[in-house]
Amino acid sequence: MIKIGDTLTLESTNGKEVHEYKCKVIDVFPNHVHIDYPVNMKTGKTVFLLNGMQFKASFVGKDDNLYLFDTEVTGKVRDPVPMVVLSYPGEEQLVRVQRRQYVRVEANVDVAIHPLHGEFSPFTTMTTDISAGGAAIVLPQQVQQFLPGMVVEAWLVLCMKSGDYHYLKLPAKVIRVFQAECSDVYRASLQFLTMSPQERLLLIRYSFERQLELRQKEE
């Protein structure tokens, strides 16, 4: 399932602090993979991993689904370039998150909405919920001609638990415009259209982080 050239995201937790790293898969074996030296997603600097360090790893497969597995640093090799060796449980042990399993969570994410053909003036607002498949946004009162079926451009700012900010620019289709219950506020449901595997991974990870945060607040 995992293949050479895939982007692998590694996540470790040290107390309350979450560290995220990005790397490329260089070679694949039955029970381990070789990766290049990871880059810290917050600092942009290369990091050197110690044997025995454990991570949650994730990647987007060729079927566009997210795959998760636990891994550990088991060594270093130089063949012909320096690489890190990670344990790999095999395809049967991967946890798959399918598109239909995308979690929609309550979240106030800053978003700017731009028209593709000048149908309305660009505006900034917030989401009320979000997932890797779409979002609901609050419509400012002055917005006119925002209609179902229209394709727009959504510029999102995701603030991750690690403190990193990610800026996504995604085409989206307006699914419906509706009045919020017991309110004068109007909202719109958006369906995200095309995006890169890395962008989808960020949205999935943001949704899971937000879901965990909401659960902790309830407890």
Each domain of the chain, given as residue ranges in start order, spans 7-100, 105-218
3-state SS class at 154: strand
Element (H, E) at 84: strand 82-87
Mean pLDDT of the chain: 88
Same fold, 7-100 and 105-218: no
Q: Could you tell me the two tokens for 65?
A: 């689904």
Is residue 13's pLDDT more than 70?
no
Task: Answer yes or no: is pLDDT of 99 > 70.
Answer: no
pLDDT band at 211 (very low <50, low <70, confident <90, very high): confident
Hey, which CATH number is domain 105-218, 3.30.200.20, 3.30.1360.120, 2.40.10.220, 3.40.50.620? 2.40.10.220
CATH no. for 7-100: 2.30.110.10
Cis amide prior to 30 (ω within 30 degrees): no
Helical H runs in the chain?
197-218
**Residues 2 and 28: beta-carbon distance below 8 Å:** yes
Decide if pLDDT at 171 tops 80. Answer: yes
What's the pTM? 0.66
Interatomic CA distance for residues 171 and 152, integer angstroms = 6
Residue 155 makes CB contacts below 8 A (sequence gap 6+) with: 111, 112, 113, 114, 167, 168, 169
